[in-house]
Structure 1
Amino acid sequence: MACSYENEGVFNPAKSRIKVFNFHDEGRFAPYTCTQCTEAWCLHACPVEAIVVNESTGAKEVIEDVCVGCKVCTIACPFGTVNYNTDSGKVVKCDLCGGEPACADACPTAAITYVDSSYTGLDRMKSHAEQTIPKS
């Protein structure tokens, strides 16, 4: 809801740039959105160069005034996180809200977080493993 309000001005899950995957067999749900992948298939597929990299956040952003709504980027994205907005006739995707994602700020359970992409947590995991694994 924070996403749709921040980007569209309405509280409407259908207008959110975050989608929810339903694991029917397990009774669980998981949020997913654009991962701002390095490959950026959407950016390279756009015939009018309407998707650009924001230099400060690294996010791939759709320039609405340039987008012609051809949907080529929606086909190119292997994760299905570039979506067509029928109201505007343009595509939308997560742009990290300029570096302060509303979804991460509003998520009460920390199911959605925003961390530096270079952070993997590997050092923390190694440190924890060293403390819990007995030395021989």
Structure 2
Amino acid sequence: MQKVLHIDPAKCTGCLSCEMACSYENYGVFATAKSRIKVFDFHHTGRKVPYTCTQCDEAWCLHACPVEAITVDKTTGAKVVNETTCVGCKVCTIACPFGTINYVQETGKVQKCDLCGGEPACAEACPTGAITFIDANWTGLSRMQQWADKLGNQPVAA
């Protein structure tokens, strides 16, 4: 069963624990600028929303890469950047409709969430449960059910 990050913005307090955990997991330093997950701050509403790579099924970044530096991890299903192969052309950053692939000036390569090999540090560090790592099938069903309920999902009289 594949798992995905599930983000519930209503639970986010903007503590940045996810960003700190990500940067430490991937670079060994607490530096939000190096994080592969970001917390967007909607100043006018006071809302904080974590966002990162959604590991799209279509994976436009993967298909756009001219040197095939982005591959699918067979264990986690994550689309992973191979830094050895990456030439830093940034085509994947243009192809990503969500803007979750970032160019790293120091390395001349790109970075994106790789689900930490199946144990996402951001989800483990989140104190409010705004970021969880759950079965992929559950998220789709849950979203469909929520929309159906909003639309008046009532049994039809026969």
TM range (shorter): 0.7 to 0.9
Picking from 29, 51, 76, the partner of 1:57 is 76
Read off the aligned partner of 2:134 and give its amino acid letter.
Answer: V
Shift of 1:32: 0.2
Q: What is the TM-score normalised by the length of structure 1?
A: 0.88
Q: Work out the number of aligned pairs and report it.
A: 130
Q: Determine the structure 1 residue equivalent to 2:112.
A: 93
Secondary structure of the corresponding residue to residue 49 of structure 2:
strand
CA-atom RMSD in angstroms:
2.2
Q: Determine the structure 2 residue equivalent to 1:132.
A: none
Picking from 17, 23, 32, the partner of 1:13 is 32
CA distance in 1, matches of 2:107, 2:27: 11
2:128 maps to 1:109: yes
Shift of 1:84: 0.6
Structure 1: 5+ residue stretches without partners: 130-134
Secondary structure of the corresponding residue to residue 119 of structure 1:
helix
Q: Which runs of 4+ in 1 moved over 4 A?
A: none
Q: Determine the structure 2 residue equivalent to 1:24.
A: 43
Residue by residue over 1:78-133, the C-alpha shift from the partner in whole angstroms, topping out at 9 and shown as x without a partner, is 000000111111000000000000110111111111112111253xx68xx8xxxx
Residue by residue over 1:1-33, the C-alpha shift from the partner in whole angstroms, topping out at 9 and shown as x without a partner, is 000000011100010000122212201111000
CA distance in 2, matches of 1:37, 1:115: 15
Percent of pairs identical after alignment?
71
Q: Higher relative CO (CA 8 A, sep ≥ 6), structure 1 or 2?
A: 2
Q: What is the TM-score normalised by the length of structure 2?
A: 0.76
CA distance in 1, matches of 2:111, 2:99: 11
Higher strand share: 2
Read off the aligned partner of 2:67 and give its amino acid letter.
Answer: V
Read off the aligned partner of 1:4 and give its amino acid letter.
Answer: S
Spell out the pairing of 1:59-78 with structure 2 (5 A cutoff): 59-78=78-97
Secondary structure of the corresponding residue to residue 4 of structure 1:
helix
